[in-house]
Structure 1
Amino acid sequence: MLNYTIRRVLGVIPTLILISIFVFLFIHLIPGDPARIVAGEDATAADVELIREELGLNRPLYVQYITYMKGILHGDLGTSLKTKKPVLEEIKNRFVPTLTLTLFSIFWSVIFGLLIGIISAVNRGKWQDYTGMFAAVSGISLPSFWLGLMLVQIFSVKLGWLPTGGYGTFKHFILPSMTLGAGVAAIIARFARSSVMDILKEDYVRTARAKGLIQKVVVWRHVFRNALIPIVTMVGLQFGFLLGGSVVIETVFSWPGMGSLLIDSVAFRDYPMIQSEILIFSLQFIIINLIVDLLYAVLNPEISYR
């Protein structure tokens, strides 16, 4: 296990280097001149050129990339072109709201998704199954931005129960987390249903029932644990998507997270901020995948890594 973990961690380094190269090249293909944006519309050509030289944008791309990577190795992600503050400081301020919202969303979506999936599988072909799968299909099909706007219209504008946006209290988490987690809960429900149905066909499940065990004991003691391995994979992937894919939701609810920061950075052509955020999103996916792989051995002792 330790050797496998070390190999996976070392494998992160070349992966991040390749990602950083692609991100760096892609960002410089975005239309627009960040020096012009920083200088303002009324700036002269000489002013723009002076700012371009100050930011290092007049140097060859490979020189800019090497300079950027040297800064990362020293813990310096650069300075934001928009706020003039260190990128690392800006990301620290925005990471906690995004992580908190993601954890809140994944918590309730996993609980409801598993319950709906298990109930649907155990009651296959009955009204519980049809109702659960209808809810799951609806959750997957509805666009997240539309769902968010509808929730705001109903619970904020019409009923006045919840705030329309912002960050601070528990009430501020409810609508964004419902919007962000709806699709995840639906995916987990469908995946859990399929996984549990496969386990229910196994011989040891029929043996447990033949011994006279009640349905609840069979499901929770013999079926649920063995069905968890593929479900954990799906939950881990969805957690990564939530961390990196909350851009639309944060914009709809004016959430001060990394998603809204990325939108603002793209609009301002803030190269250092965009590069750093995408690298962090990529690193999050890699770490989550590693954790999921290690959880396999915890859930199933027969799985071993060498």
Structure 2
Amino acid sequence: MRALADNAWVRFTARRLRRLLFSVWVLLTAAFAMIHLIPGDPVRAALGVTASPELVAARREQLGLDDPLWRQYLDYLADLFTGRFGISTASGLPVSQVIADRYPATLELAVYAFIVAVALSVPIGLTMAVLTRAGRRRQLELGFTSASVLFGAVPEFLIGAGLVYVFGVRLGLVPIAGRGGPGSYVLPVLALAIGPAAVLARIMRVETLAVLDTDYIRTARAKRLPDRRLYLRHALPNSLTATLTLAGLLLGGLVAATVLVENVFAWPGLGSTIVQSILSKDYPVVQAIVLIYGLGVLLVNLVVDVGLALLDPRSTIREG
């Protein structure tokens, strides 16, 4: 047992699990408190001002809103651990059913955008580093830096609106709303991917420039290795660490960014659902979606931490 406790990997795993459990508890408590801090009666808001007092009272009793706050909190935690998210005050359907119907569309959008962002940023960043190393092509470097900063700073919904106007309204090349065939994925995926791709391409260029100045690259260049082998086999793998680390962190942000993008493209996912639920004051659905987004970000951060530990065990595990 002593040797197990002294193992660096065991200590690293224990620290990460403690942080994850504490973060999950904070997230669950904040989501519960959110419902009770919002002014007004969510049942009355969902049923409308014309609903009879008897109907409102029956729905409040059904949802357990008349119980003491501590009892509601314990019931809330117990329901979550058994996979129950409650009942939608607007539709009367189980919240888990609402989530199951909408979550796949959001996950698809985020994953496809992540793949596109990495697929664009790595070759662009590598190419720009090769073309602008050692201070060459200063105008190209300035143009690339300015463009990447601009696209990285513009919100996703503005990029989406611009794509709708150019490719949907003016050119009519692809659908601008709904989730149908493959063409319906093009604009929302690009709206989500362009900003992160710009950021990752800039990071990739900086990392590649640093790698190209190392001694082993100079040695490989002195051996007159072909450019393709030099850049793809020797420079690329050593340039990817920081880029993929940041890409993992951006994946959590991509899931959150779907909230606005889905509303721009009328995409039937969690993002559009949470906006509709806020407008209709369907707080159980809002609560569940907030939990799913938060848990998604926490899990992505955990995967990134573990990935970094596997790539560089000595520094990452000791930092713990």
Structure 1 residue runs of 4+, over 6 Å off? 301-304
Q: Which residue of 2 aligns with 1:115?
A: 123
Is 2:241 the counterpart of 1:229? yes
How far has the Cα of 1:198 moved from its partner?
2.0
> In the TM superposition, what is the alpha-carbon distance from 1:116 to its structure 2 partner?
1.8
Q: Deviation digits for residues 24-44 of structure 1, max 9, x if unmatched?
A: 213322344211122212135
Aligned mates of 1:116, 1:133 — CA distance in 2: 12
Note the C-alpha offset of 1:147.
2.0
Task: Structure 1: give runs of 5+ residues left out of the alignment.
Answer: none
Whether 1:268 aligns to 2:280 is yes
For 2:37, what is the secondary structure of its paired residue? coil
- The answer to whether the aligner puts 1:97 opposite 2:105 as a matched pair is yes
Cα distance between partner residues in 1 of 2:38 and 2:194? 32
The equivalent position to 2:163 in structure 1, one of 148, 151, 168, is: 151
> Which residue number in structure 2 is paired with residue 205 of structure 1?
217
Amino acid at match of 2:238: N
Query: Using the alignment, how far apart are the partners of 1:193 and 1:5 within structure 2?
Result: 33
Write the deviation string for residues 45-102 of structure 1: whole angstroms up to 9, x where unpaired.
5554443333222333322211111111122111121221111121111111111111
More displaced stretch, 138-147 vs 239-248:
138-147
Asked if 2 retains the 8 angstrom alpha-carbon contact of 1:296 and 1:303, the reply is no
Query: Aligned residues, how many?
Result: 306
Instruction: State the identity as a percent.
Output: 35
Give the structure 1 partner of residue 91 of structure 2. 83
Report the alpha carbon displacement of residue 298 of structure 1 after superposing the two structures with TM: 5.2
Q: Partner letter of residue 77 of structure 1?
A: F
For 1:271-290, list aligned pairs within 5 A. Answer: 271-290=283-302
- 2:264 and 2:92 map into 1 onto residues whose CA distance is 26
Question: Counterpart of 1:233 in 2: which secondary structure?
Answer: helix
Structure 2 CA distance for partners of 1:79 and 1:49, relative to 1, 3 Å: closer
Letter in 2 for 1:175: L
Gaps of 5+ in 2: 1-7
Superposition TM-score, scaled by structure 1 size: 0.90
* 1:73 alignment counterpart: 81
Aligned pairs (5 A) from 1:39-58: 39-45=47-53, 47-58=55-66
Superposition deviation, residue 208 in structure 1: 2.0
Alignment partner of 1:168: what SS?
coil
- 53-62 or 279-288, which moves further after superposition? 53-62
Q: 1:104 is aligned with what amino acid?
A: Y
| Worse overlay, 72-81 or 44-53 | 44-53
- Residues 152, 194 of structure 2: 8 Å contact kept: yes
Match of 1:175 among 183, 187, 203: 187
